[in-house]
Copies of this chain bind each other. A is one copy, B any other.
Amino acid sequence: MPTTIAPAELRADIDNFYAWHMQLLDAGRVEEWADAFTPDGVFDAQGHPEPVRGRDEIRSASRTVADKLAEAGIVRRHWLSMSHIVPEGATVRVRSYALVFQSGKEKGTVLHASTTCEDVLVPDGGSWLIRERVVRVDGTA
């Protein structure tokens, strides 16, 4: 099975990064969550007709979603795992699976979507910034 094995420090770094990143999103702290993108970062989620370009646009798009969920009393949990980590020079390409669970008083907890998430990460001091994110929803192709 020829593959690029990420060393232990990188693996831990990446796992730490996504844990905090997704918890910020689910806590409605979307401004801090959006700070993890580069100023010219691109977020290509399947739900949008066009990729969202730039940290400011990503921030305001996610604020809209967060406000709607909060108004509807819905909590989302983004589980990201199974990350395949491929260093490419100073950047890192990470292909992960992500599940979205949704909880509310009426419907209880349901599995909302199964997706793949491909990120290009660039180093930023002791952490990472997302230069490009491509999310694809399973079962819709």
Instruction: Spell out A's residues near B (CB within 8 Å).
Output: 1, 3, 5-13, 15-24, 32, 35-36, 75, 77-85, 95-97, 99, 101, 103-105, 107-111, 113-114, 126-127, 138-140
Contacts and interface: CB of A to CB of B under 8 A. Distances in A.
Nearest to A36: B1
* Dominant secondary structure of chain A at its interface with chain B: mixed
Given A79-B81, A82-B22, A114-B103, A109 B5 contact: no
A1 B20 contact: yes
Contacts of A1: 17, 20-21, 24, 32, 35-36, 127
A113 B105 CA distance: 12
A6 B105 CA distance: 35
A16 B139 contact: no
7 contacts: A3-B127, A11-B11, A79-B99, A99-B101, A101-B111, A103-B139, A105-B139
B20 A3 contact: yes
